[in-house]
Amino acid sequence: MVSGSGAGALASAAANLNAVRETMDVNLEISRILNTGLDMETLSICVRLCEQGINPEALSSSIKELRKVTEALKAPENMTSYLETS
Partner 1 sequence: MCSRVAERPEGRPLPEGASARESSFDTRVGLRVFSATACHLLSRDLEAPSPEGTQGSRPSSALCRADVAQQFQFAVRVIGSNFAPTVERDEFLVAEKIKKELIRQRREADAALFSELHRKLHSQGVLKNKWSILYLLLNLSEDPRRQANKVSNYATLFAQALPRDAHSTPYYYARPQTLPLNYQDRGTQAVQSSGSLGSSGISSISMCALGGPAPPPQPLLPGQSHQTLGVGDCLRQQLGSRLAWTLTANQPSSQTPPSKGTPNAVSRSMTRSRREGETGGAVEITEAALVRDILYVFQGIDGKNIKMSNTENCYKVEGKANLSKSLRDTAVRLAELGWLHNKIRKYTDQRSLDRSFGLVGQSFCAALHQELKEYYRLLSVLHSQLQLEDDQGVNLGLESSLTLRRLLVWTYDPKIRLKTLAALVDHCQGRKGGELASAVHAYTRTGDPYMRSLVQHILSLVSHPVLSFLYRWIYDGELEDTYHEFFVASDPTVKTDRLWHDKYTLRKSMIPSFMTMDQSRKVLLIGKSINFLHQVCHDQTPTTKMIAVTKSAEPPQDAADLFTDLENAFQGKIDAAYFETSKYLLDVLNKKYSLLDHMQAMRRYLLLGQGDFIRHLMDLLKPELVRPATTLYQHNLTGILETAVRATNAQFDSPEILRRLDVRLLEVSPGDTGWDVFSLDYHVDGPIATVFTRECMSHYLRVFNFLWRAKRMEYILTDIRKGHMCNAKLLRNMPELSGVLHQCHILASEMVHFIHQMQYYITFEVLECSWDELWNRVQQAQDLDHIIAAHEAFLDTITSRCLLDSGSRVLLNQLRAVFDQIIELQNAQDAIYRAALEELQRRLQFEEKKKQHEIEGQWGVTAAEEEEENRRIREFQESIPKMCSQLQILTHFYQGIVQQFLVLLTTSSDESLRFLSFRLDFNEHYKAREPRLRVSLGTRGRRSAHM
Taking CB under 8 A as the criterion, which residues in 39-68 touch partner 1?
Answer: 41-42, 44-68
> How far is Cα 13 from Cα 19, in angstroms, rounded to an integer?
10
* By CB under 8 A, residue 34 contacts partner 1: yes
Output the CA angle 82-84-85, nearest 5 degrees: 65
* By CB under 8 A, residue 14 contacts partner 1: no
* Least distance in angstroms from the C-beta of 28 to partner 1: 10
Positions touching partner 1 (CB under 8 A) are 16-17, 19-24, 26-27, 29-31, 33-38, 41-42, 44-78, 80-81, 84-85
